[in-house]
Chains A and B, each alone.
Chain A
Amino acid sequence: MINVIREPLIFEISSPGKSGVRLPALDVPERLEAVEGLSLREDIEGFPEVSETEITRHFTRLSQMNYCVDFGFYPLGSCTMKYNPKLNEKIAGMSSLVGVHPLAPEKLAQGNLELMKILENLLCEITGMDAVSLQPAAGAHGELTGMMLIRAYHQAHGNPRKYVLIPDSAHGTNPSSAHICGYVVKEIKSNDRGTISLEDLAREMTEEVAALMVTNPNTLGVFESDICQIAEIVHARGGFVYMDGANLNALAGVTRPGDMKVDVLHLNLHKTFSTPHGGGGPGSGPVAVKKILEPYLPVPVIEEKDGQYYLNYNRPQSIGRVKSFYGQFQVMLKALAYILALGPAGLREMTETAVLNSNYIRKSLEGIYHLKYDSPTLHECVFSDKFQKDFGVSNLDISKRLLDYGLHPPTMSFPLIVHGALMIEPTETESRRDLDLFIEAMKAIDREARENPELLRTAPHITYVRRLDEVQAARNPVLRWEGK
């Protein structure tokens, strides 16, 4: 095996006196009395000292240890790892847009306010909703905001109510967001189609339930075909339907949450609208609502009068702020550029291709990997390791072996209702060749599971590091460099 360079921590290559930057000299008279009354530090103990060359090599080498969408197929279910158009990065770097201070007078930031308003309007059209707040920073933040809107409505009508219903297939953020909003979570079991049963819902839906949080299509990729009846049941008891919009890549241009009687949903601009994930953010999680919830939206809201845009803070029923300033502005720019590039027909083609790609993979692997639910699926499908388990091979082993094939694995062990889950979402930005590479690798791995399971249990073999000991990391936490 070739002995590749093991990149040390920056602190380990630090040497006193070096710096990666040349700063200007002080151009005003130095006043030592300026520090009077301050507790000054003697040193920043352990802080690195390296040159620009070393910085560049360090981060270039680190970057090369990452798998990324620019390199290849990234079929993480529920994550919508589509290609990130490079034009959008260029736009998000325009200094005339991103050089503006957030507290600049509104009249000096008209272009930015207009762009945000345009994006709000386009998202309303795409979702079939009446108003949008761009303030939430990510999907989970959007969920929390959406639930706060619901609570504010109920509170204003005399009773915030106590429970929120959430299917057992939901993302973990759903119950967590509901809890932080002060609600008690009641789980609804999925039926044998993997969807919500109307009878169960009708039984659980009382006047103490504030809302149902539903993901549609759900995390199996299965569309809740009864969504309109579901909404009727919830509305009849005075509750709201919250939709987790993480899977909008299955719907955009084909159907609209607003037309399904959804009252509030969040979008993930970093999923459906192509903005990059950056290794875990920044995302952007706008919240879209029907008229009934609009008075409660976070402040400020962008309004227009006589062709001038301004920020309205005078909204007495508002839940208040959920974030400083107005949201993840650069991310919004990228999403808007994406919608403009696609246009209405392109948006529909996006969704259709995402669904086609997913079904192509499903059909190609059906019978080789176990599919717990045979309901039709849209943009993603969830297999399991049930067949390979007979040879002592788990979804973890299959995933790690995929790394040796130069591919990123699917989402593992989620949704929780499928034991040993492998959740695959290809998105529309994959070529047939890339889809086939994945399918062939999955087939080869199934053969290896039968013939040489040990090869899988010890995978990956050719990555920068081999399988990592996660148990030790948690049992004996080392969370920072401790040297001097």
Chain B
Amino acid sequence: MSYIPISDRDKKEMLERCGVKSVEDLFCCIPESIRLKGLLNLPGPLSEPEILEYFEERGKKNSFDRYLSFLGGGAYDHFIPAVVDYLSSRGEFVSPYTPYQPEVSQGTLQVIFEFQTLICQLTGLDIANASLYDGATGAAEAVLMANRIKNKKRLLVASNVHPEYRQVIYTYTRNLGLEVVEIPYDRLGRVDQKGLESALNSHTSVLLCQSPNYFGVVEDLKTLGELTHKHDALLAVVISEPLSLGLLEAPGKLGADIVTGEAQSFGLPLSYGGPYLGFMACKKEFVRQLPGRIAGQTVDAEGRRGFVLTLSTREQHIRREKATSNICTNQAHCALRATIYLETLGRQGLKKMAWLNLQKAAYALDRLTSIPGVSRKFGGPVFNEFVLEFPSDWERIKQKLEEKGILGGLSLGNDYQGLERCALVTITEKHSREKIDRYAEVLREVLK
């Protein structure tokens, strides 16, 4: 086996040193009755070219890449600069463990420190952690964190938060005696303010909303912050398309206390849903309740700057059942990719990238809604996603588009009653004018 560099001669000498005759003797502590008598029923061993072919054959069974896709909804197909793949695939970044020995992990630690800084700059908050699993678990961690801070059992979650994020929140909170209340959305597609006001009371820890929300609509965070703060509750914002922060005001400056989200847009491929990149930032005063790892700056024995993992008394390996979260391994390598991506684009590049997305989406919205029978469902301002309403059931239109090679958008009917005729359409900088025009032409034809 090429991954096992012990020769037969090595093995013989090593067994001698161990004072045993055969390797089996080293397993004497495992009762005979539960030891496997033969080999497992597994395929292989396959050679390197055979394995490549094995996966290539399965790749051919995926026909997704033969379609023009307008799917988003928490997973976005953005351009990734070549340096991101090149630099992140260095073995020095791919193959180390968590930086428990900081003297030989300054690369990873400085990257985390830079990542935390970038997330703070984008969100307008004071501190950020080293990463969480994804946007959905970030949303769940955010409401649990708010509950620890406020120690009140009522959690408000906007119904226009990504359906999968809400499902994860339910899974996480179900066993903890917490009350989760969903807040309806209004005609603009935003959190319904009247609904929110009537749901807020003195037992409420937090409102979790998403912006841009699952309908692509950017929320009025300032007002939501004022309303929640009036009831001594926190405003937590989850963001599934953080590229929007290249243009939109930082949520921290609009009143958000905790900002979490999914940073797949920052240099991670679609990857059929993972690994993605959860992030979380908050105000300084909540640092002891922040889940996950944090890198901090310090000095070495000669007074030079260096970085370490710090404030670990929040974490499971020290605090065990009293920890803020059970998270251990997180998404460090994904955070590295995001760091390279963001630093490569930089201040101007990120703004421009966001501008391309917003402008192309505006163009697409114009083109598509100029087709008879197609209208914009919600009036609220959007970034790069929007909901269209069609004259008849979306599922049938979707099928017809698919037959013509177009994945026109995501269905909303399963998750939202009354939106059976609607679809969520996503535009990124990768959609050229020609592709958008093609969608419009085919849709016009299909609706005839």
Q: What's the A-B contact tally at a CB cutoff of 8 Å?
A: 673
Contact across chains for A104 and B64 when beta carbons are under 8 A apart: yes
Closest to A155 in B: B175
Would you call A453 an interface residue if the criterion is a C-beta within 8 Å of the partner chain's C-beta atoms? no
The distance from the CB of B410 to the nearest CB of chain A, in whole angstroms, is 6
Residue A2 CB within 8 A of the other chain:
no
Residues in A neighbouring B43, C-beta threshold 8 A? 122, 340, 343
Tell me whether B93 and A63 are in contact (CB under 8 A): yes
Question: Contacts A67-B96, A281-B332: A324 and B346 contacting too (C-beta < 8 A)?
Answer: no
Complex Cα distance, B85 from A10, in Å, reads 19
CA of A175 to CA of B323 in the docked complex: distance in angstroms?
Answer: 9
The chain A residue sitting closest to B333, CB to CB, is: A278
Residue of B96, B162, B271 touching A69 (CB-CB under 8 A)? B96
Interface positions, chain A 97-137, Cβ under 8 Å from B, are: 97-105, 107-112, 114-115, 122, 125-126, 137
Chain A interface size band reads: 35 or more
Q: Is residue B81 contacting chain A, with contact meaning CB distance below 8 A? A: yes
Residues of B within 8 A of A181 (CB): 175
Interface membership of B296, Cβ < 8 A:
yes
Closest 3 CB pairs of A and B: A325-B273, A278-B333, A96-B59
Map CB proximity to A onto B299-333 as digits: 1 under 8 Å, 0 otherwise.
11110111110111101111111110111111111
Give the residues in chain B near A10, CB-CB below 8 Å: 114, 343
* Bound-state Cα–Cα, A9 to B305, Å: 11
Q: Is B448 an interface residue (CB 8 A)?
A: no
Contact present for B271 and A330 (CB under 8 Å): yes
Type the 1/0 row for B225-262, where 1 means its CB is closer than 8 Å to any CB of A: 00000000000000000000111111001100000001
| Cβ-based interface call for B106 (8 A) | yes
Best-buried of A68, A115, A326 by chain B (most CB within 10 Å):
A68
Distance A364 CA – B18 CA, assembled complex (angstroms) = 8
Within 8 A of B (CB), among A141-191: 141, 143-144, 148, 151, 160, 171-173, 175-182, 185
Let me know if B106 and A341 touch, CB within 8 A.
no
Tell me the complex Cα distance, A458–B92, Å.
Answer: 26
Query: A109 and B273 in contact (CB under 8 A), knowing A36-B381, A138-B329, A281-B333?
Result: no
With contacts A44-B121, A102-B273, A172-B320 taken as known, whether A68 is within 8 angstroms of B95 at the C-beta atoms is yes
Cα distance, A178 to B47, chains bound together (Å): 42
- Interface locus among B27-35, B179-187, B194-202, B369-377: B27-35
Check A140/B328 contact, CB under 8 A, given A56-B83, A465-B103: yes
CB distance from B3 to the nearest CB of A (A): 5
List chain A residues, Cβ under 8 A from B381: 35-38
A68-B274 contact in complex given A37-B381, A39-B222, C-beta closer than 8 Å:
no
| Whole-angstrom CA separation of A459 from B43 in the bound complex | 48
* B392 contacts A by Cβ under 8 Å: no
Judge whether B103 and A468 touch: CB under 8 Å. yes
What would 5 A/B residue contacts be, using CB atoms closer than 8 Å?
A50-B343, A325-B272, A329-B273, A478-B297, A480-B117
Please tell me if the beta carbons of A29 and B34 are within 8 angstroms of each other in the complex: no
CB of B294 within 8 Å of the partner chain: yes
B311's partner among A112, A431, A465, A474 (CB-CB below 8 A) is A474
A409 on the B face (CB < 8 A): yes
**Residues A281 and B329 in contact in the complex (CB < 8 Å), given A109-B272, A255-B30:** yes
Q: Mark B93-120, 1 if CB is under 8 A from A, else 0.
A: 1111111111111111011011011101
Residue interface mask B331-355, A partner, CB < 8 A = 1: 1111010001011111111111101
| Known contacts A11-B117, A50-B343, A259-B34; A138 and B330 CB within 8 A of each other | yes
Contact of B97 among A46, A81, A260, A376 (CB under 8 A): A81
A-side contacts of B254, CB under 8 Å: 39
Chain B residues with CB under 8 Å of A347's CB are 40, 42
- Measured in the bound complex, the distance between the Cα atoms of B325 and A177 in whole Å is 8
Q: Please name all residues of chain A whose beta carbon is closer than 8 Å to the beta carbon of B296 when the two chains form the complex.
A: 473-474, 477-479
State whether A91 touches B51 (Cβ < 8 A): yes
Instruction: Give the residues in chain B near A125, CB-CB below 8 Å.
Output: 40-42
Residue-wise interface mask of A (231-249) relative to B, using a CB-CB cutoff of 8 A (1 in contact, 0 not): 0000000000000000000
Report which of A37, A172, A360 forms a contact with B14, defined as CB distance below 8 A: A360
Mark B17-46 against chain A: 1 for CB-CB distance below 8 A, else 0.
Answer: 111100100111111011110011111111
| A87 touching B1, Cβ below 8 Å | no
**B67 an interface residue at 8 Å Cβ cutoff?**
yes
Q: Which residues of B contact A312 (CB under 8 A)?
A: none
Q: Which of A335-349 contact B (CB under 8 A)?
A: 337, 339-349
Interface pair B97/A343, CB less than 8 Å apart: no
A371 within 8 A of B: no
Which of B162, B331, B429 sits near A324, CB closer than 8 Å? Answer: B162
B133-166 interface (Cβ within 8 A of A): 133-137, 144, 162, 164-165
Stretch at the interface among A16-24, A196-204, A287-295: A16-24
Kindly state the separation between the CA atoms of A99 and B63 in the bound complex, as whole angstroms: 11
Known: A91-B55, A96-B56, A477-B287. A17 touches B348 (CB 8 A): yes
Binds B, one of A350-358, A385-393, A443-451: A350-358
B118 pairs with A355, CB closer than 8 A: no
**Among the listed A114, A122, A139, which residue makes an inter-chain contact with B58, where contact means beta carbons less than 8 Å apart?**
A114
Bound-state Cα–Cα, A82 to B65, Å: 35
Q: Given A41-B253, A70-B92, A91-B51, list of 17 further CB < 8 A pairs?
A: A10-B114, A55-B83, A66-B104, A67-B101, A76-B100, A107-B63, A171-B328, A172-B320, A180-B176, A280-B329, A323-B168, A326-B274, A375-B29, A468-B308, A473-B296, A479-B127, A481-B113
- Min CB gap A3→B, angstroms: 11
Given A36-B381, A103-B73, A403-B101, residue A122 in contact with residue B42 (CB < 8 A): yes
Give chain B residues whose Cβ lies under 8 Å from the Cβ of A7.
110
Residues of chain B within 8 A of A96, CB atoms compared: 56, 59-60, 62, 65
Interface check A206, CB cutoff 8 A: no
A19 with B346: in contact, given A70-B91, A87-B51 (CB under 8 Å)?
yes
Residues of chain B lying within 8 A (CB to CB) of residue A319: 171, 174
CA distance A464 to B40 in the complex (A): 46
| Cβ-defined contact, A66 with B108, below 8 A | yes
Nearest-neighbour CB distance to chain B for A440, whole angstroms, equals: 14
For A9, give its contact among B3, B59, B74, B114 (CB under 8 Å).
B114
Q: Determine how close the nearest CB of chain A comes to the CB of B120; give it in whole angstroms.
A: 5
Tell whether, in the assembled complex, residue B429 and residue A23 are in contact, meaning their CB atoms are under 8 Å apart: yes
B297:A473 contact, CB within 8 angstroms: yes
Q: How far is the CB of A88 from chain B (nearest CB, A)?
A: 9
Which residue among A24, A59, A140 has the maximum number of chain B CB atoms within 10 Å of its CB?
A59
Most buried by B among A29, A49, A104, A279: A279
B330 contact from A6, A114, A281, A431, Cβ within 8 A: A281
Contact A321 B164, beta carbon cutoff 8 Å: yes
For the complex, is B6 an interface residue (Cβ under 8 Å from A)?
A: yes
Across the interface, name the chain B residue whose C-beta is closest to A87: B48
Asked if B87 is an interface residue, CB under 8 A from chain A, the answer is yes
B64 adjacent to A109 (CB under 8 Å)? yes
B105-A67 in contact (CB<8A): yes
CB distance from B253 to the nearest CB of A (A): 8
Answer whether A20 and B349 are a contact pair too, CB < 8 Å, given A94-B59, A97-B55, A479-B294: yes
Q: With A23-B353, A103-B73 known to touch, is A38 a contact of B273 (CB < 8 Å)?
A: no
